[in-house]
Amino acid sequence: MASSTGFPYKLTFGLALTIVIDTVVQLAWRIAAQDLPETPSWDVVGVVLGQPLFLLVVMLMLCQLFNWLQVLGQADLSFAQPFTSLSRITVSLASVYFLHERLAPEQIAGIVMVCAGAWCISQTARNTARNETPSP
Amino acid sequence: MTPTAIGILLVILSSLIEGFGELFLKKSRLQRQRQIFWVLSGVSVFVVQMSVYTAALRFLAVGAAFAMSSLSFVFVALLSKWLLREEVTPIKWLGIALIMTGTSLIGGFA
């Protein structure tokens, strides 16, 4: 059970789930998009509706919204949102594993920098002490 | 105005809109009595953001647009500081700068 002073298990789980869902959505989207016609037309709508992967994407996006609202209930926006960048790492790594894409050395340097940035933010307070309600 | 400049402006606009979408979702957690209003506003704003980003892709390569879209981290931090009165410390800015550079590298060389 998380407390205000202890390790934020619930927040950590929520952020991890955000990254996992985002990764699955991105991969499913990429795979499903391969079957779309190259020229934009109304046929695209039919193809999209007939693709189970697109429906999976929509369902996952709804789950993501619910989960993200839970995360925002526990941390500052400026604390939580930068952690979503970690999904760009997991998408890149998953693309290497599942889609047999390659990582350039610059991308590996980028992964290291994102990790370093996330670490910096993890060292800051996850909630601003509030004495007053922010203006609407 | 060149097509590239239009694309860049659209990505910047898309990142700014994304910042407002995130802000509205956070508002839904701060003002529980208007929760549904803020959630619907946030989701609507994200739909607009996706449209603007898609329009930007007509003028820019995906890698460049993806790299530039990391500007949203800066907009979210600025909007959180100004409109939500959140504390954005120098180490948080350092983290955001590292993340922006890192995501730009990941997306720019994809």
Mean pLDDT of chain A: 84
Burial class, A42, CB count within 10 angstroms (exposed 0-12 / middle 13-18 / buried 19+): exposed
Domain with A42, as residue range(s), is: 9-122
Number of domains in chain A: 1
B4: CB partners within 8 A, 6+ apart: B59, B60
Q: Is residue A85 part of a domain?
A: yes
Amino acid occupying residue A118:
A
Query: Tokens representing A66?
Result: 């619910």
With CB atoms and an 8 Å threshold, state whether B85 touches A113: no
Against a cut of 0.80, is the pTM above it?
Answer: yes
Q: Quick: pLDDT tens for B83-97.
A: 999 999 999 999 999
With CB atoms and an 8 Å threshold, state whether B25 touches A88: no
Helix (H, G, I), strand (E, B) or coil at A89: helix
Q: In this predicted complex, what is the ipTM?
A: 0.90
Quick one: how far is CA B103 from the chain centroid? Answer: 13
Q: How many CB atoms lie within 10 A of CB A122?
A: 14
Kindly tell me if the per-residue pLDDT of A135 is higher than 80. no
Q: Is residue A55 part of a domain?
A: yes
Q: Is residue A130 part of a domain?
A: no
Q: Is residue A128 part of a domain?
A: no
**Between helices B71-83 and B3-30, what is the axis angle to 10°?**
40
Q: Quick: pLDDT tens for A59-90.
A: 999 999 999 999 999 999 999 999 999 998 89
Chain B interface mutation, best of A23, A108, A120, highest count of B Cβ atoms under 10 Å: A120
- Dmax over Cα atoms in chain A, in whole Å? 55
Regions of chain B with pLDDT less than 70: 110
